[in-house]
Structure 1
Amino acid sequence: MKKHFARKNMLVLCLTIAVTFQLKAQQNIQFTQYIFNSLSVNPAYAGYKEEWFGQLGLRSQWTGLEGAPKTGQLSIDGVADANKNIGLGLQITDDRLGPQNATSVYANYAYRLRLDEDDTQRLSFGLAAGISQYGLDGNKLRPVDGDDANLPIGKINSTIPDIRFGVYYYNPKFYVGLSAMDLFSGQNSNRFFNWNSNTIENIRRKRHYYLIAGAMINLSDDTKLRPSMLFKEDLKGPSSLDIGGMLIFGGRFWIGGSYRTEANLWKKRYEQGQTLSSLNSISGITQIYINNQLRVGYSYDYIISELSSFQNGTHEITLGITFPGKNRRVLSPRFF
C-alpha cells in the first residue's frame, strides 16, 4: 500500500513539474533500438538500406508506474531512383505520458551523394517536414490546490508544424551523422501550450541536436562487432550519451547492450543548487533475422537511478520488414 502511494506521489510530482514550468530536460522521444533504424534521429538516413524498409517500434517505459511513457512509431523509407541518389521516408509517431499525448507525421527527403566509383560510401543531406498535435488532459492532473490557476481545465490541443535537418556519412567500416530537430522552436516561438493568459509560458519545445557514430569491426569470418554512440543535446537540460555495442553472428543474430548517462560538456543553469544523479540506465538488446526480409528486435532498459525503486524497467520491441526491389542490388550488407 505504501509503495503504491509512493508511486502515485512520484507521478504527480513529475507531471506537475512538467506542466507548470518551462521544461528544461530532454523532451524528444528516444528509442534504445535506434541503431537498427536511425531515421528516428536523422532524416538524412532515409534510403540508407537502398531497399524499401518498414519498421514498427513499440516502447513501454518505466513499467509499473501509473501514467508512464508509452511510444509507438511506424516508419518506412527507401530509395526512389535507379541511381539511389534520392531517399524518401515517412514516420508516424504516437507518444503518451500521463495526461500528455503527442502525435506526429513527418515526410523525409535525403539527397545521397556518391563519393567513389564502387559506390561503397555516400554523404547524405536530409530534410524532414511534418506536423505534431499535442494534447493535455487537465482532468487527469491531481493538484494539491483544486483552484490552481496554473493548470488547464479540461482537454486542450495544439497542432504545430516543424522541420528537421541532418547530415549522414557512411562507408563499410564506419558512419557518422549530425541532425537538428524542432527547428521551428526557439526562445520566443512555438509556445504550443499556453492555457493561462497571465502566465508567460507553460510548456514550450526546445531545439534538439543529435550526434550518432559507429563502426564495424570484423572479429572473424562469421562474427562482427558493431560499437555505436548517440549524443543528445538541447542546450538547456541534461545532455544524454548512449554508448553501446552489438555482436553479430552470421549476419542474422545480434546481441549486445548499451549504457545511457548524463554527459554535460559545460556547466548549465539548471545544475545550480541541485544534486541530480547522472546515472540513467543500462540496456540489453537483441535482434534476430527470421528470414531475409523479416527481423525482430527486443531491448530491456534497467534503470540505475533513484527511480529504479518505483518502476520495473523499460521494454521495447521492433518489427522490421524489407521490400526488395526489382533489378536492384545492394553492393554491401547494411549493418548500420
Structure 2
Amino acid sequence: MLRIYLGSLFLVFLWPLTAQQLPYFTQFRQHQPLLNPASVSSDFFLYEYNVSLSSSYRMQWISHPETPRTVQVNGEFISDFGGAFELVSGISVMQDRTGPFGLSGIHGRIGSIFTNDPYFGGLSVGLSVGMVNYRVNSNRIIWKDLGDPLSPDIDFAVTQPDVGVGVFYYRRMEDALDGDNIYLGLSAPQLLHGNSLVQVGEDFIPLRRVTHYYATAGWYHFFNQEAFLETSAWAKYTPGAPFNLDIYGRFQPARPLWFGAGFGINGLAHLELGFNVPGLLFEDANLKIGYGFDYNISAFDLPLGASHELHVTIMFDTYR
C-alpha cells in the first residue's frame, strides 16, 4: 500500500512538472532574463536604461486555491566599456508554488553583446547558472481516506544545479524602417535534464526534469519618439508537452501609457495595461508598472478562472 500511495503521488507530481516546469508569463517581454540569459531589455534599446530592478507576482487560474502562484525578482546591468563588446549581467530569484508542490531558484547570468554601440544593436550570447529547490508538503495533499494510517508523511526537498544558454539579436533599423527596432532570441533556460531518485524514508521517488526550448521575437514600429506599435511572439517547446505559441500586439500612444492584447494557440486570450513614470527619482530614471490578464476562451475551457499578473520595474540610465 505504501508503494501504491508513493506511486500515486509521483504521478500527481510528474504531471504539473511536465506541463509547466517553468512558469508561464503574460507579459513575457518583462521576464526576458528568465527566458533567455542572453536577452537585452527592450527598455535599453528603446530608451538606453542599462540598469533595472524588477519584481512580479502572478496568480494563475484564481478560481482554484491550489493553482500556481509565482513571485520573481530580477536585477540587470549592461556595461559601457566603449569597446568591441559589452557585458550584460544579472541575478534572478524566483518562487513558484502549485498546491503542495513548490519550486524556488536563484540564477546568475552573464553574457557578451558583440557590438561597437549596444544602443543601436548587436548579437548577444549568454549563460545562466543557478540552483533550484523542489519540495513537496504532504500536509497539503488531500488523501482519499483521511484516517488511513498508511497515508505517508513524505515531506521532502531536493536541490539541484541548473544551467541555461541563449543567443539574442537586436537592431535599430535604417532606410524605409528608420528608427524601428527588431529582436530575436533563442534559448534553453533549463538545459540540464534527466531523472533523479529522491530518497524518502526507505523508498525512492523519481524526479524528472526536461529541457525547455524558447524562441522570442518582436518588432517596434515608431510613429514618433514616444508612440509605437509592437508585435511580439513567444514560442515554447518542451518534450512531452504540446508546442505553444503566444502572439501579442501592444500600442503606446504616449510615453505614460500602453495597452495590448494577444492570444495563444493553447486557447488563452491576453490583455495588458501599463504605465511609465519617467523622471520619478531623477531625470534619467523611469518607473514602469504593468498588469496582465489571461482567460481561457477555448471550447475545452476548464473552470479554473482567470489569471492575473502584476509587474513593477525601476530603471536607470547610468551612461550619461
| Amino acid aligned to 2:154 | G
**Is the CA contact (8 Å cut-off) linking 1:56 and 1:318 kept in structure 2?**
yes
The residue aligned with 1:286 is 273
Moved more, 101-110 or 232-241: 232-241
| Amino acid aligned to 1:78 | F
Structure 1, unmatched stretches of 5+, are 1-13, 262-278, 330-336
Q: How does 1:54-203 map to 2 (within 5 A)?
A: 54-83=53-82, 85-114=86-115, 120-144=120-144, 153-172=153-172, 173-186=181-194, 189=195, 191=196, 193=198, 195=200, 202-203=206-207
Moved more, 285-294 or 229-238: 285-294
**Is the CA contact (8 Å cut-off) linking 2:166 and 2:188 kept in structure 1?**
yes
Distance 1:46 1:171, change over 3 A: closer
Question: How far did residue 163 of structure 1 move?
Answer: 0.7
1:262-306 CA distance string (max 9 Å, x none): xxxxxxxxxxxxxxxxx4310111110022411100011112246
Measure, in 2, the Cα distance between the counterparts of 1:303 and 1:15: 28
Match of 1:208 among 193, 209, 212: 212
| Amino acid aligned to 1:244 | Y
The residue aligned with 2:310 is 317
TM (normalized to structure 2)? 0.81
Measure, in 2, the Cα distance between the counterparts of 1:236 and 1:34: 22
TM (normalized to structure 1)? 0.78
| Amino acid aligned to 2:100 | P
**Is the CA contact (8 Å cut-off) linking 1:69 and 1:98 kept in structure 2?**
yes
Distance 1:20 1:312, change over 3 A: closer
Distance 1:198 1:86, change over 3 A: same
The residue aligned with 1:304 is 297
SS at 1:169 equivalent: strand
Measure, in 2, the Cα distance between the counterparts of 1:169 and 1:65: 40
| Amino acid aligned to 1:232 | K
| Amino acid aligned to 2:13 | V
Structure 2, unmatched stretches of 5+, are 1-7, 173-180, 280-285
Question: How far did residue 307 of structure 1 move?
Answer: 7.2
SS at 1:44 equivalent: coil
Moved more, 243-252 or 21-30: 21-30
- Are 1:255 and 2:256 counterparts? no
**Is the CA contact (8 Å cut-off) linking 1:47 and 1:89 kept in structure 2?**
no
**Is the CA contact (8 Å cut-off) linking 1:233 and 1:239 kept in structure 2?**
yes
Give the superposed CA RMSD.
Answer: 2.8
Measure, in 2, the Cα distance between the counterparts of 1:192 and 1:211: 31
**Is the CA contact (8 Å cut-off) linking 2:37 and 2:189 kept in structure 1?**
no
Measure, in 2, the Cα distance between the counterparts of 1:197 and 1:21: 24
| Amino acid aligned to 1:76 | G
Distance 1:161 1:118, change over 3 A: closer
SS at 2:19 equivalent: coil
**Is the CA contact (8 Å cut-off) linking 1:152 and 1:195 kept in structure 2?**
no
**Is the CA contact (8 Å cut-off) linking 2:40 and 2:168 kept in structure 1?**
no
Distance 1:100 1:23, change over 3 A: closer
SS at 1:25 equivalent: helix
Question: How far did residue 80 of structure 1 move?
Answer: 3.4
Moved more, 303-312 or 159-168: 303-312
